[in-house]
Amino acid sequence: MKKLFAVGSTALALALTVLTGCGENKSSAPKVAFQNTDLTGLAYAKDFALTDHTGKPRTLGDFKGKVVVMFFGYTQCPDVCPTTLTEMAQVMQELGPQADQVQVLFVTVDPERDTQPLLAQYVPTFDKRFIGLYGTAEQTAAVAKEFKVFYAKVPGKNPGSYSMDHTAASYVFDRQGKIRLMVRNGQGPASVVHDVKLLLAQS
């Protein structure tokens, strides 16, 4: 599977230019020194309506009060998805007791195959606190559009052996449910731990 990073790169670059291109405002609060890409203030990735791997309807508001890390993938992904979930499990270990204030969400871009029982078996394998989310094809498309996530089916040798190309990055939200960061694939756990601790320290 290609390790794609397609988070609306042109729009994102423009938005970041607008955010960072303003003149210095001496009255503003000091900029937080995040190690990952700062998305603070961007007007997308506001919410979702999906079902978790226990069958419970979920929205972003359900996790208010926690720092949320959200990744889009699929259970049959051979590389990026298990690697990302493994790194996030390491992040949780390194956070220690603070990990209870963090929620990792795995959103499938392959609802055709990633059923509730499969997600329930797969996602908690990495960390029992992780939650798998799924929706109908239409719900998945709507959430991907809201979060500017790319995904596409890549045909295999037979109809059931296809793979999925998809955005290989994670979103991080603060305790108020506001998008704050994007973590590129392959960054390792250290920078995520650093940034999550900064967000946890904020009210």
User: Which CATH number do you get for residue 181?
Assistant: 3.40.30.10
Encode 116-129: b = buried (16+ Cβ within 10 Å), e = exposed. eebbeebbeebbee
What is the structure's pLDDT at 158?
84
The answer to whether residue 54 is domain-embedded is yes
Q: Is residue 32 part of a domain?
A: no
Residue 190 domain flag:
yes
Q: 186 vs 32, which has greater pLDDT?
A: 186
Q: Domain for residue 85, yes or no?
A: yes
**Domain presence at residue 47:** yes
Residue 81 assigned as binding residue: yes
Instruction: Work out the burial of residue 172: count CB atoms within 10 Å of its CB; fewer than 13 is exposed, 13-18 middle, 19 or more buried.
Output: buried
User: Does the pLDDT of residue 20 top 50, yes or no?
Assistant: no
In this structure, are strands 169-173 and 179-184 parallel, antiparallel, or unpaired?
A: antiparallel
| 139: in domain | yes
Query: Is position 155 within any domain?
Result: yes
Strand-by-strand arrangement of the 3-4 sheet: 3-4, 163-167, 151-154
Question: What is the rounded average pLDDT for all residues in the chain?
Answer: 87
Q: Radius of gyration (Cα) for the chain, nearest Å?
A: 17
Beta bridge partners of 166: 3, 151
Question: Whole domain around residue 190: which residue ranges?
Answer: 37-201
Residue 13 lies in a domain: no
List beta partners, residue 103: 68
**Structural domain count, the chain:** 1
For the segment 82-132, what is each residue's pLDDT rounded down to a tens digit? Answer: 999 999 999 999 999 999 999 999 999 999 999 999 999 999 999 999 999
